Amino acid sequence: MLFEDTIAAISTPIGVGGIGIIRVSGKEAISIVDKIFKAANKKSLKDIGSHTITYGHIVSQSGKVLDEVLIMLMKGPKTFTREDVIEINCHGGPIPLNAVLMEVINAGARLADSGEFTKRAFLNGRIDLAQVEAIMDIIEAKTELSLSQAVGQLEGNLSKKIREYQDTLIQIIARIEVSIDYPEYDDDEPITNDFEAELRALSAELNELLKTADTGKMIRDGVKTAIVGRPNVGKSSLLNALLEENKAIVTDIPGTTRDVVEAYLNIDGIPFQLLDTAGIRETEDVVEQIGVERSKSSIEEADLVLMLVDAHAGLLDKDKEILAQVKGKHVIYVFNKNDLGSNITPEITQEHFNDGKIINISAKEQDGLKDLRNAMKEIVIKGNATVSNQATISNQRQKQALMNAIKSLDKVIEAIEMGLPEDCLAIDLHDAFGHLGMIVGESLKEEIINQLFSRFCLGK
Ligand SMILES: Nc1nc2c(ncn2[C@@H]2O[C@H](COP(=O)(O)OP(=O)(O)OP(=O)(O)O)[C@@H](O)[C@H]2O)c(=O)[nH]1
Ligand SMILES: [Mg+2]
């Protein structure tokens, strides 16, 4: 056992609920709770079997009955933390929960830090870091698809893949090291010949995995989608139509929206964070100027831009200026107000909108919205509907580690091409192995680990 002390915290949200749970984990979990628990069957918790539920009362050391509870007793190592764990099911409500928690602390436990239970699960080797991050993602999941991606990661989809890649590397490293230590086993053929192909295949696989990073991140965090365009083209009307509610103010006065209006939209499980922005134009109005600046930064930060054009008004010079600002982004051109008739000719489309998908809509009549939703979804999954079942890279930390591994591997391949001796390959192979290990949390520095766990809520 790694830890000397026993920790405790309220693991359910603060507030009033049917039940509230206090979790206790550590060597002394059973004996500490035993001091303050009177079982209805008169038994001591020390004599009760593992993974059982016992009914009784929490009684303070001064003899006062604090709550009627169910005690869930789980002996390590088959527990979340691998330590002995007790969960006290109290009546939900901040007063009884805090009173019972205080009694547990008085009896010898220490108040847990944020994420400390999960940290113990990790440090006691029950889960790896990719799985820790998955737990965090499960708590914060925005849609069912983000949830199933996170559950897949918790089940070890990613971890398993990484171990396979590490196994391949270990075997190659072992072969090289044998040939360095026992050159007499080497025949005339240079040893690198037999694993160059393997390394190339591995590099290709890692690059495939890397491709999932952007999709994975968007499914986890939501696709930041900026709705931009000239004043009055119908940006706020589009936001409202997509959300099916009157979230943003719509008027026929240009310059209605000043601040960025944010909302979540779920399209077939993919979360979109919609940003309705101020219409971009030159203006003397100080408040509006700030709004316009914010619109411009929204374009920079967005994963996806919906650029709105008033189809009835046709393409104006002001639109062309905005067009220049969205170049290089994932963009969908949305021609609005088609109910009034369109003045955008095929020639204009050909000349100015040939680098992105075009969708014709009427926000007012709610026409064309289905096509728009499909186009938005396609940008994310690019026809790959099975994202949730694969191993996916879902955050920046994992992505960076994977890119480093690919870099080291490419160095090895380059060295082989240059005909360098095998002992020169070993270092980069070891590096590649180490970087892969980072994804699942091997050899991570303590401060990174602490920072990661501090993002959890108390009691998790
Ligand atoms: N006919 C028609 N009118 C529309 C359509 N969409 C929006 N409008 C009208 O256009 C005007 C401006 O709409 P908004 O949604 O406020 O436009 P906006 O782009 O958000 O404008 P700013 O916030 O000022 O930049 C309103 O009078 C809307 O009713 C449409 O599809 N057809
Ligand atoms: Mg608006």
The Å distance, Cα 207 to ligand 2 centre, comes to 41
- H and E: helices and strands count for the chain: 15, 13
pLDDT tens readout for residues 372-400 = 999 998 887 764 444 445 788 888 888 99
Locate the domains of the chain by residue range: 7-123, 222-381
**Index of the ligand 1 atom closest to the CA of residue 278:** 25
Beta carbon of 318 within 6 Å of any ligand 1 atom: no
Token pair in block for residue 164: 């396979």
Q: Which residues contact 430 (CB under 8 A, 6 or more apart)?
A: 173
pLDDT tens readout for residues 141-153 = 877 778 888 888 8
Quote the CA–CA distance of 146 and 163 in Å, as a whole number.
24
Which residue's alpha carbon is at the smallest distance from atom 14 of ligand 1? 234
User: Considering only CA atoms, which of 8, 57, 53 is closest in space to residue 37?
Assistant: 57
CATH architecture entry for 222-381: 3-Layer(aba) Sandwich (3.40)
pLDDT tens readout for residues 324-369 = 999 988 899 999 999 999 999 999 999 999 988 999 999 999 999 9
What pTM does this model have?
0.68
Quote the CA–CA distance of 110 and 115 in Å, as a whole number.
14
Average pLDDT taken over every residue of the chain: 88
* pLDDT of res. 49: 96
Which residue's alpha carbon is at the smallest distance from atom 2 of ligand 1? 337
What is the third-level CATH fold of 7-123? Gyrase A; domain 2 (3.30.1360)
Beta carbon of 291 within 6 Å of any ligand 1 atom: no
* pLDDT of res. 387: 47
Alpha carbon distances (Å) from 267 to 14, 376, 446:
31, 8, 39
Beta carbon of 295 within 6 Å of any ligand 1 atom: no
E strands within 60-217?
Answer: 65-74, 85-91, 110-111
Pocket test for ligand 1, best of 239, 240, 250 (most atoms within 8 A of CB): 250
The pLDDT of 221-225, averaged and rounded, is 88
Phi, psi of 166 (to 5 degrees): -65, -35
User: If pLDDT is split at 50, 70 and 90, which confidence band does 186 have?
Assistant: low
* pLDDT of res. 419: 85
Pocket test for ligand 1, best of 237, 245, 344 (most atoms within 8 A of CB): 237
Which residue's alpha carbon is at the smallest distance from atom 13 of ligand 1? 234
Task: Judge whether residue 453 has pLDDT over 80.
Answer: no
The Å distance, Cα 278 to ligand 2 centre, comes to 6
Token pair in block for residue 426: 């070993």
Q: Which residues pair with 306 in a beta bridge?
A: 227, 332
Quote the CA–CA distance of 306 and 228 in Å, as a whole number.
6
The pLDDT of 188-214, averaged and rounded, is 81
Quote the CA–CA distance of 369 and 386 in Å, as a whole number.
24
Q: What b/e readout covers 43-73, taking b as 16+ CB neighbours within 10 angstroms? A: eebeebeeeeebebebbeeeeeebbebebbb
* pLDDT of res. 455: 72
- The pairing of strands 357-360 and 331-336 is parallel
Phi, psi of 200 (to 5 degrees): -65, -40
Phi, psi of 75 (to 5 degrees): -85, 140
Q: Is the dihedral of CA 176, 178, 180, 183 positive or negative?
A: negative
User: If pLDDT is split at 50, 70 and 90, which confidence band does 155 have?
Assistant: confident
377: left (phi over 0), alpha (psi -120 to 50) or beta: alpha
Beta carbon of 251 within 6 Å of any ligand 1 atom: yes
pLDDT tens readout for residues 51-89 = 999 999 999 988 999 999 999 999 999 999 999 999 999
The Å distance, Cα 237 to ligand 2 centre, comes to 7
Q: Which amino acid is at 72?
A: M
